[in-house]
Copies of this chain bind each other. A is one copy, B any other.
Amino acid sequence: MALIVQKYGGSSVGDAGKIKNVARRVAQTKDKGNQVVVVVSAMGDTTDELIKLAYQINERPDERELDMLLSTGEIISCTLMAMALEAMGYEAISLSGAQAGIRTDAVYSRARIQRVDPERINKELDKGNIVIVAGFQGITDEMDITTLGRGGSDTTAVALAVSLGAEVCQIYTDVEGVFTADPRIVPEAQKLPEIGYEEMLELATYGAKVMHPRAVELGELFSVPILVASSFNDNPGTLIHGGVSMEVRNKVRGIAHDLDVAKITVVGVPDRPGVAASIFEPLAKANVSVDTIVQNASINNITDLTFTVAESQLGKAMGVVKPIAQSIGARECVSDSKLGKVSIIGTGMQNTPGYAARMFGALSEKGINIELITTSEIRITCIIDEAKVKDAVKALHRAFELEK
């Protein structure tokens, strides 16, 4: 008897009919003789509606209160899922994050799971119950409710799979798996039957929205296989695991893209020790994630410092950086919000020359100008004009023959 953890996202449980549909899928898994733990997100737009309500009342809602408010969304969907299974004659029980033993730190709105106390879940599984766990939430040692931030329910699912020793963590969503590129942009994009953790991590981090990098990282750390598949059909999905053959002929596995990119350049910065820290520490404190950082070679001890942030954080970032730029004697501070990034991802890329050249060539052929370049061992990313991102994804998909 295998233990399987399944996770269903908000769009898969958006209304009563969809909840019943998911319940049928869960029941099938149970019928095959498995023990099943199901993690659900909040129904459809519930979380957004609760946030809207909170902001009607307080423009800066306290994060502890907001977490407790938002936690209700997943409790609603998990109780309804248990009821749907019971209506079909299955034994089921819903558990809140607290009841499921998801213990976190007290960093509200983006809590990290510290441990899972699986006693209650194990007790319910032993009774023969299908256990439905509210995703995205946990509880502190002080009994305060936290939420896990972005990708929270995926993280709950993988954390439970780890601590319960599940055979596989299945993430059911509104796409059929991981593709070589976004199929809405590249119709001939191919679904990958399998992918390694590292490649998936880079794809997710650099724009593939199918799964949150945080959950992939957790899966990698504890070697839990993760299946990403559709909750609306039975087509095979993509298995993320560690056993993917290391040497594949075509080393580019996928193209990721992201439109949510803005660039800030601090022009004419006196190049002395501590200048970078004086800019990036306050940004970190303001909870602004800085992505790519480029510093030009300095001329006469004067340099330009360029970095990218999410477009949605540009205003906040400029508010932090402008006064600092002034105080360190920089000439000016300029920004550009109309940028995007496109990345090619694949293991072994660094040890095989020519990938970067082929990428830059494909972009140049389409007349796409590259603003910044960053790389990792298994990724090359170009920051380009936002309006050219789709063309770039198509061109790269063709250049690396991913449709084959």
Contact = CB atoms under 8 A, between A and B. Distances in A.
Contact of A84 (B58, B76, B82): B58
Interface of A: 16, 19-20, 50, 53-54, 56-62, 64-66, 68-69, 71-72, 75-76, 79-80, 82-84, 86-87, 93-94, 96, 98-99, 120, 143-145
Contact of A99 (B80, B120, B143): B143
A298 to B, nearest CB: 47
A68 B96 contact: yes
A16 to B, nearest CB: 4
A98 B143 contact: yes
Contacts of A59: 87
A120 B16 CA distance: 37
Report which residue of A61, A83, A144 has the largest number of chain B beta carbons within 10 angstroms of its beta carbon: A83
Copies in the complex: 2
Given A16-B56, A19-B57, A72-B72, A83 B98 contact: no
Given A57-B83, A58-B83, A68-B79, 14 more contacts: A16-B57, A50-B76, A53-B80, A57-B87, A65-B79, A65-B83, A65-B86, A68-B94, A69-B75, A69-B80, A96-B145, A98-B98, A99-B144, A120-B143
Given A86-B62, A93-B64, A144-B99, A57 B69 contact: no
In the complex, the 5 A-B pairs of residues with the closest C-beta atoms, listed nearest first: A72-B72, A58-B83, A69-B79, A58-B87, A16-B56
Contact of A72 (B58, B66, B76, B143): B76
